[in-house]
Amino acid sequence: MSGQQKGLMQVIQEVVPRVDQRFCVRHLCANFRKKFPGKQLKCLMWKATSATHPQAWELEMRNINQLNNEAFKYLLKIPPRHWSRSRFSTIPQCDTLVNMSEAFNSVLVHTRSKPIISMLEDIRLYLMKRWARSGLSVAYHVATFGCYEIPKSTPEDFIPCCFRKTTYEETYCSIVYPINGKNMWEITPYVDVLPPPKRILPGRPKKKRRLEQWELVNDDKRMRKGGIKKRCGKCKQLGHNRTSCTQSTEPMMSSTIEDEVAL
């Protein structure tokens, strides 16, 4: 992986002709913005870079062509196998980078100026936090250091079964074949097969949740909503409300009627 290193392009082809070379898009974007400034073109270029399928890359390139034809021609001169994920090969399983020391120094910006003991302690704490965030538990790392104290033991003996290769093969032995989306369909000369028309059932659609069988049983021992049982506003009894109350009550008279009765 190279970035703004024009002298290495020919050298890589001569020294290691069979390797897959990729360009650093950050430097490629910096050169692109010198000739074609603008946030919209920058976003479209990064979308074309991160596209995982050739169809998605072609869609973003068409959007760039509609916005600026010169920028479209500029990007077409660069082979997409060097800068677009949609054209990357699956053969290489690792990258040869030159910024490993820079990545290490970026973590130790505030640490490398300390004394040696304090610096090593900060590095140790950083590694412990990375181990805690990683998928492998601390038991794997402890086993790596502790297996030497137990005779005839290996680090693999201390790894849980969920991290073993046999468990992984048993979990993913069956294959779920993926299906391409609508944007990945091939254009054919045949008539498009449409889905059947959706039938709308008569009546208002149900929105209430279907209750389980145990929820349909009236049980006074089961806690109600909020932990409080219903109390009727008419008869003041528990277990129902005033709409379902069966006890008849006298209708309430207004204040004017009460005054007339009193006279």
Domain boundary among 132, 153, 171: 171
Tokens linked to 236? 């003041």
Place of tokens 């991160």: 50
Residue closest to 28 by CA, chosen among 66, 103, 84: 84
Q: Is residue 59 in some structural domain?
A: yes
Domain boundary among 117, 138, 171: 171
- 107-127 pLDDT, tens digit per residue, is 888 888 888 888 889 988 888
Q: Is residue 220 in some structural domain?
A: no
Rg (CA), the chain: 36
Give CA 244 to chain center in angstroms: 50
Identify whether the C-beta of residue 26 lies closer than 8 Å to the C-beta of residue 3.
yes
Residues 115 and 54 in one domain: no
Identify whether the C-beta of residue 29 lies closer than 8 Å to the C-beta of residue 42.
yes
38 pLDDT above the threshold of 70: yes
Q: Is residue 261 in some structural domain?
A: no
- 200-257 pLDDT, tens digit per residue, is 889 998 888 887 777 777 666 665 555 567 788 888 888 788 888 887 655 555 555 5
In the chain, count of helices (H) and strands (E)? 10, 0
Residues 82 and 113 in one domain: no
Label residues 70-85 b or e (16+ Cβ within 10 Å = b): ebbebbeeeebebbbb
Q: Is residue 142 in some structural domain?
A: yes
Distances (CA, A) of 73 to 33, 68, 135, 146, 261: 14, 9, 44, 60, 98
Q: How many domains does the chain have?
A: 2
Return the SS3 of 238.
strand
Query: Domain range holding 25?
Result: 7-87
pTM for this predicted structure: 0.40
Q: Is residue 120 in some structural domain?
A: yes
Residues 82 and 125 in one domain: no
Return the SS3 of 208.
coil
Domain boundary among 128, 156, 171: 171
Q: Is residue 70 in some structural domain?
A: yes
User: In whole numbers, what is the pLDDT of the chain averaged over residues?
Assistant: 77
| Mean predicted confidence (pLDDT) in 38-54 | 90
**DSSP element (H, E) containing 139:** helix 138-146
Q: Is residue 198 in some structural domain?
A: no
pLDDT reported for residue 64: 92
The pLDDT confidence band at residue 43, using thresholds 50, 70 and 90, is very high
Residues 35 and 82 in one domain: yes
Rounded distance between C-alpha atoms, residue 210 and residue 208, angstroms: 6
Residues 158 and 131 in one domain: yes
The dihedral built from the CA positions of residue 140, 144, 145 and 147, taken in this order, carries a sign that is: positive
The pLDDT confidence band at residue 66, using thresholds 50, 70 and 90, is very high
- 161-191 pLDDT, tens digit per residue, is 887 888 888 888 888 888 888 888 877 889 8
| Mean predicted confidence (pLDDT) in 125-135 | 77
Q: What is the DSSP string of 140-188?
A: HHHHHHHTTTSTT--GGGGS-GGGSHHHHHHHT-S-------GGGPPP-
More reliable by pLDDT, 36 or 211? 36
Residues 112 and 59 in one domain: no
Instruction: Look up residue 169 and give its amino acid.
Output: E
pLDDT reported for residue 207: 84
Q: Is residue 147 in some structural domain?
A: yes
| Mean predicted confidence (pLDDT) in 75-80 | 89
Cβ neighbour number for residue 234 with a 10 Å cutoff: 14
Residues 6+ apart with CB under 8 A from 164: none
Rounded distance between C-alpha atoms, residue 84 and residue 50, angstroms: 7
Residues 83 and 104 in one domain: no
